[in-house]
Amino acid sequence: MIFKMKNRLYILLFLLKGAVLQAQQITYYNDISPIVQSKCAPCHHPGGGAPFSLLTFEDIAKRASFIKEVIQSGYMPPWKADNKYVHFANDRSLSPKEINLLVKWIADKTPEGKKNTTEKNLPEFTSGTKYSRKPDMVLKMADSFLVQGDNTERFVIFKIPFALKETENIEAIEFYSNNNKLIHHANYAVHEVADTSIDIYNTDAVVNLSAADRTKVDQYRPYKKIMTYYGGWIPGTTYEYYPKEFGWVMPRRGVILLTVHFGPSAVDEKSISYVNLFFKKIPVTRPVKVISFGSGGIGEKQIDPIFYIKANDKKTFTLEVTNPGTDLSVMYVWPHMHYIGKEFKAYIVTAVGDTIKMVHIPEWDFRWQEIYRMKNLVKVPKGSIMHIEGTYDNTAQNPANPNSPPRTIFSEGSMRSTDEMMTLLMVYLPYEEGDEKIKME
């Protein structure tokens, strides 16, 4: 009798254990796919800018050990902001829980599991964008541009004319290039040219600012009277997305003047770039603007101490700028430094002494310079002081140092890659009562 009961107990325990195991089994479709689709697939899809796709079970399973390595080291997904300082709406880093799930799933030999309904409603990633749907309009350079392999930097303006049936509300904008590695940065100004007596088509499509023909930029002067929006791209930036009634309105007719700064290249390479626009139906009643602090922007001359870093030196610079105007609501912060940047921090101190954290990048990496969207709009009251701190490492021990041996690096207002910069761009709008409560998701 006792023997029988004991046996039953064992059977019961065995069944229980099986059930627990069953419940705990991590499968691709139940647990892994949602993580990978939201945190990896935006880049890892064909034409998404990453070297291979991570869209299917097979894509992931065959790279399991490699994936384990890059997620444990924090190399992937690329996310440089300190989430403990400010947690941004567009955070794409993996939580410790997600890393655990992935690592456990890989240790369990990547069970596939059964497809479920969420698998049918996956975002549609398409070639040429990291956004989760096809662009409504792609404004492309007229032709691909040959970057000569002569190791010189180039600044080139591309004119892209456009004419629409109607104005459009912008939900998102993205700069895209077939060959990101060639580009040090790009800026684009969206100019409205409503006056049809101004020809937007028969002027040169390209003006090379570094060459003898830089005076040709004069022909673009008639386009520059109205600037609807000014955006940009630096390595690692994805796109700007504006929730709800925020954004800006694409005019019916005009040009985009796209200035591309090509870094030096040792071999001939072709580059073609474009601006993707995503429209929305919701009318834009709260248009956003862009402002820049530090090098190339407001307060450039107040950077303290004088902005140069001697060979073999480490140095921290600060900038304090008062917001003299009206109250602002900040939607995005976008820090920028060059190669020897090490750490970046920005915060605001209000007139009554409150500190508002804006962004902290503890380990600067030139390759991953994202534009960070606040979870809620952040009020910057008038009279408050913006503090920016940038630390640079110009020693030979810094593997990102472009000079070997190190040499003194200046910041001379020019945007050459051999100079340094300390810049904070912000996408903002005039403050309205209650803005702090508006979620930017």
Residue ranges that bind ligand HEC, judged by CB under 6 A = 39-40, 42-44, 49-51, 54, 63, 66-67, 70-71, 76-78, 92, 94, 238
Q: Measured between alpha carbons, how far is 186 from 145 in angstroms, rounded to an integer?
A: 14
β-strand partners of 385: 322, 349
CB nearer to ligand HEC: give 67 or 160.
Answer: 67
Q: Measured between alpha carbons, how far is 161 from 202 in angstroms, rounded to an integer?
A: 10
CB nearer to ligand HEC: give 40 or 255.
Answer: 40
CB of 67 to ligand HEC, least distance (A): 4
Q: Measured between alpha carbons, how far is 297 from 423 in angstroms, rounded to an integer?
A: 7
DSSP annotation of 31? I
CB nearer to ligand HEC: give 49 or 243.
Answer: 49
CB of 274 to ligand HEC, least distance (A): 18
Strand arrangement of the beta sheet that strand 423-430 belongs to: 289-294, 423-430, 328-336, 372-380
CB nearer to ligand HEC: give 39 or 342.
Answer: 39
CB of 107 to ligand HEC, least distance (A): 16
Strand arrangement of the beta sheet that strand 341-349 belongs to: 314-322, 385-393, 341-349, 355-361
Strand 286-287 relative to strand 227-233: parallel, antiparallel, unpaired? Answer: unpaired
CB nearer to ligand HEC: give 190 or 361.
Answer: 361
DSSP annotation of 143? S
Amino acid at 175: F
DSSP annotation of 263? P
CB of 369 to ligand HEC, least distance (A): 11
CB of 155 to ligand HEC, least distance (A): 25
CB count within 10 Å of CB 422 equals 28
CB count within 10 Å of CB 206 equals 16
Q: Measured between alpha carbons, how far is 45 from 22 in angstroms, rounded to an integer?
A: 32
CB of 48 to ligand HEC, least distance (A): 8
CB nearer to ligand HEC: give 180 or 376.
Answer: 180
CB of 419 to ligand HEC, least distance (A): 24
CB nearer to ligand HEC: give 63 or 244.
Answer: 63
CB nearer to ligand HEC: give 54 or 388.
Answer: 54
CB of 318 to ligand HEC, least distance (A): 30
Q: Measured between alpha carbons, how far is 220 from 207 in angstroms, rounded to an integer?
A: 10
CB of 66 to ligand HEC, least distance (A): 5
Q: Measured between alpha carbons, how far is 191 from 256 in angstroms, rounded to an integer?
A: 6
CB nearer to ligand HEC: give 348 or 371.
Answer: 371
Whether 187 contacts 196, CB under 8 Å: no
Whether 157 contacts 255, CB under 8 Å: no
Whether 254 contacts 205, CB under 8 Å: no
Q: Measured between alpha carbons, how far is 402 from 425 in angstroms, rounded to an integer?
A: 24
